[in-house]
Chains A and B, each alone.
Chain A
Amino acid sequence: MEDSPLSAELRDTTATVPEPSGIEPFLMAILSNRLNGIAAHMTHVLEHSARSSVMSSARDLSTAICDSSGAALALPNGFPVHVANMSLTTRAVMRYHGTVMKPGDAYLNNSPYDGNTHMADHTIVVPVFCDGELMFFCTVRGHQADIGNSVPTTYFERARDIYEEGAICFPCVKVQENYEDREDIIRMAKYRIRVPDVWYGDYLAMIGAARVGERQLTDLVETYGRDLVKRFCAAWQDYGARRMIEEIGKLPAGSWTNESRHDPIPGLLPSGIQVRVTVTIRPEDGVVEVDFRGNGAPVACGLNLCEATVLSAARTGIMNRMPADIPFCDGALERISVFMDNPGVVGAACLPFSSSVATTNVANRAILAVQCVWSQVSEELGMAEGNVEMGPGESVISGFDSRYQRPFVTQLLSADSGGMAVFGHDGYVDYGISNGGMCGWNSVEVIEQKYPILYLEQEVIPDSGGTGRWDGAPATRAVIATREDPVTFMYIGDGAENVPKGYNGGGDGRPTCAWRLHVGSGREEPLPMCARIELKPGEALVSECNSGGGYGDPLERDRELVCHRVNEGWVTPERARTVYGVLLDVTPLGFAVNIAETERLRDLLRSQGPSTT
């Protein structure tokens, strides 16, 4: 298999520490402030005007300002799976329309074969001209609630090819001219999408966000002049590069290999999908290489990744342990060189294979494989695996809501806890691998008002977190019932067999599982981890997500923290004693640590060898 064109980047990025630019320092501060402010504003607009809860509650959206070469300049905090590849999506548009773009144009790219993530992520690219010169692109990405797949989901794992997948593909299609919709394209989409009003509303929200960005960027160039702004764009990329080079320079040199495996899907992938990665740190060059080559050819189902998501998976796994104030721009991100098969299951997409699920399942495994390399690089940088997600609690639901007499399709996004333990901290509770924990949770009330379902329960599960010196965050149990209308749930969960791994002595996370519950009788039937089911009135779905893996030896865990978790009902006194070696006394205001007995017990457990959790 040949390498992706990306590997060519490597030659450009070695050992060239860019010199500080000639731009006055205060102008660097002013212009970067303005640009990041404008990009953040685009995000705000999109989040507040979107229709589907996937975008408005869960914030499954991202925006970028790219320079005239398509390189991302300002990426406000967004989902990592989107953020780390915006230039790829933008440059595909340039490839098709580079010479004929005009002010007032807008392009829609949802093609994983052309630098986009997966078909459900619609990306609007708007060129920004000033005095006739192309200066910027406003790139706005959002996950649509429905895209006209052959089944009502935006993640169609069984699609053998894009024909079976069924979504309308927009490979960099011009959707606006002179600031007006190209009506025939819109009409075509509305015919093929289950909830055309919601789709069009979200489309408008994205266009609106891009136009708001365009207006402010034009003002900016008017104030500072094209020449200065262009010099700033270059200087800002250099700044990002310098920051990354500095940080990578502090790391040890070496090469490490790691892997993570997606669960089998009966009838589709009998042995799951193994993701193997080699990470090489070259501190002297300020470069990290992430090599996914050799993971195999594309598979005849929707789980293939694509260039954009392999790129973002690699960058996410590395950035997960970089300082939080590194600027998100290509100058910084390009210090992470990525190698992949072309085509490949963990590589570039290729027609007719489907990449319908390219942003989550296998992408999650790819991120985990990379981020857990840190545990080998150094104990202090180590992190475990987190909840691998996409179980029934995150189903795409669909049906007809008789309350409003309207059809609906949307993805549920809540009940997704189980962050991995990292050196120094317990796992973050509200979690998501490919969304960096940025995913908002549906408000129960908002979702019940919009869709005919009821959340009967949404609480953490005691004794669920992977144990360690730092615990993985607990799992969450959600019970979602229907009302008067039947509701279809589609989901493709991972993590029932290959649970999130603990690292450096930490315990593994808890498997994910699901049942169909007959609310009246309380009878429960187990459900497979990958299914399309219809719940009738009187039935509910019980979903328990993974918890996060633990990090380090549980016997080293701060005993007061163990006690606190017992008081809070996350951990039972029994587990405190057997796993952490912490003995608790009962007081009127709750449990308290019995220090002497705890030390004795811990010594005893240590002498018996590594704990089995």
Chain B
Amino acid sequence: MLRARTARDLLLSGFALVPAVLLALGCTDDENKGYAPSNCKHSEPTTGFLRVELTINQTNHRVPLTIFEGAYEEGKVVLRDTVDVEDVSYELRVGKEYSVLARYISGRDTILALDSESLDVASDEYQDATCYYVEEGKADVRLHD
């Protein structure tokens, strides 16, 4: 939730709209990238890393985690894990959208935190080659009060 926003921030938010649109319409990608770096991947990767952020606290020191392919109702479970760290990464196939579900206890309530992220391949064009990479996927299933 956004809280304690000042009048100045609100005013600047409004004023920012005009150049934001102008910049969005006016930008062109004419950057000369030069030659490909030595770590360039010349073929499309088939897997990438999905980073998952969790909340670990006194009540939830080990958090059950499930990763689904697609929406979680579709039930295509890719992996299950129980995690005791706040930041963890899993290597998964690219070109798919994943839903991450973490289960927390909060007082007498159970909180099922859900987020989704896709792992997509992108590329950079250089003068001598095309380099492929996987855009970082980050799922945030921390507790947000």
Are both chains from one complex? no
Residues of chain B having any CB pair with chain A under 8 Å = none
